[in-house]
Chain A
């Protein structure tokens, strides 16, 4: 049997799986966030992008399978590890003080499962189309997004979920370096900045979408799409020829 398949037998091996699957999800999230931002370039851009993703079945299903497997393995092994640690101290301390643990590191076992629930909700809502708006279009992703995030509580669910994601990523993006043994005295201090940066990028980009849409602000590209400018071809013939010498 390939040795990588025996990794899960020990705590360090399980943790390495949690870290690698976490990194896979990180990669996915970065791409997903950049793709989502197309919404501000108007309906054509977003719908075209969405169609592109679905155009090549092997690519679509390949990504789906890798990400879904990662999510499942991540959840399964992180729960097993949490159980191991839960057993490791049967009698709690009457008093315990944290000195270096932070909100993000202490809340991994809360932010993680919250994200799990959110992922299910998110797939039901925007992928499978059980939308609280009552309408869902397979091709007009732009309309789905705009109508959904005009509902305040639906936008709020997404915003809160992104804040939880921020907590999870801030610790996770630092932690995976340690777990995978990626340390070097010259670069160790940078790992915290990396974690803060990538978290800010992913969470910030994602939060922009529901909050800007809810606020009612529209970019020029979106406004143009709502009141289409007359195409040049429709202009009167005389007007078109006016520059001809």
Chain B
């Protein structure tokens, strides 16, 4: 590609932190000869190569699939979760989104519930605990059921799939002025609540997951909708409204024992 021949030089301010206990600080690096076709993570790889050859500690950042589906990557770039481009994970963000001479501030997700492990890596196990609290549907094991044995209206299948697109990257928490995990939790609540298999545990699921969300120390949702704008999978805040409705139903209307009832076993 013609445009890709031109390389750029950037100035990076990167958050460095040696461990959870370290206070952390910004350090400045030059990213030289960056091709516009590189992904953001490849640009960091280039910076790291130079750091390693000069005997310095490379920048630590999370990544796995590098194709926008695993949710491992994610940093704040100039105040935007996953950078300036909408509906894009950091690994899928290309350097053509920036221009020669740009100055970039690169920070880890910041939330009490996500302690910084090192540099740009945070511990997101708070999300795992929210899932463990109720983000599953109990099923009897045995031989596989026939396809389409359970009929699901297309509308429900679609909205369940939209919510299930969540890759758990935590950009929603990172972008939220309150560091709230409402969008993540709501996506996980909703994708099961929309399906027949999710019904038996629907009420106790939402209560347990919301309780866990509070226990982890996230903030509360004030409906700024920053999460929706940051979400690489464009999950709508409509799922938050649905979670709120289910939660109030579980707390006020549903039979009380539903909150603690056993699974469908």
Contacts and interface: CB of A to CB of B under 8 A. Distances in A.
Interface stretch (A113-121, A179-187, A201-209): A179-187
Contact of B112 (A88, A95, A177, A178): A88
Interface string A7-30: 100111111100000000000000
Nearest to A191: B241
Interface in B106-149: 107, 110-113
B184 interface: no
B179 A13 contact: no
A139 interface: no
Interface stretch (B33-41, B76-84, B196-204): B76-84
B251 A178 contact: no
B214 to A, nearest CB: 5
A105 B223 CA distance: 8
B248 A180 contact: yes
Contacts of B214: 10-11
A99 B112 contact: no
Contacts of B24: 91
Contacts of A100: 224-226, 228-229
Given A89-B110, A183-B241, A12 B217 contact: no
B219 A85 contact: yes
A87 B217 contact: yes
B256 interface: yes
A13 B224 contact: no
Interface size class of A (residues with CB under 8 A): 35 or more
A177 B219 contact: no
A188 interface: yes
Contacts of B98: none
B172 interface: no
A57 interface: no
Nearest to B23: A91
A155 interface: no
B15 to A, nearest CB: 8
Interface residues of A: mostly helix, strand, loop or mixed?
helix
B177 interface: yes
B61 interface: no
Contacts of A105: 222-224
Given A89-B112, A90-B112, A100-B228, A10 B178 contact: no
A12 B76 contact: no
Interface in B217-254: 217-226, 228-230, 237-238, 240-248, 251-252
B220 A101 contact: no
A93 B79 contact: yes
A179 B178 contact: no
A101 B244 contact: no
B171 to A, nearest CB: 12
A225 interface: no
A6 to B, nearest CB: 8
Contacts of B80: 97, 99
B29 interface: no
Contacts of B238: 183, 185, 188
Interface of B: 13, 24, 26, 76, 78-80, 105, 107, 110-113, 175, 177-180, 210-211, 213-214, 217-226, 228-230, 237-238, 240-248, 251-252, 256
9 contacts: A11-B210, A11-B214, A15-B221, A16-B248, A93-B76, A94-B13, A96-B76, A105-B222, A185-B238
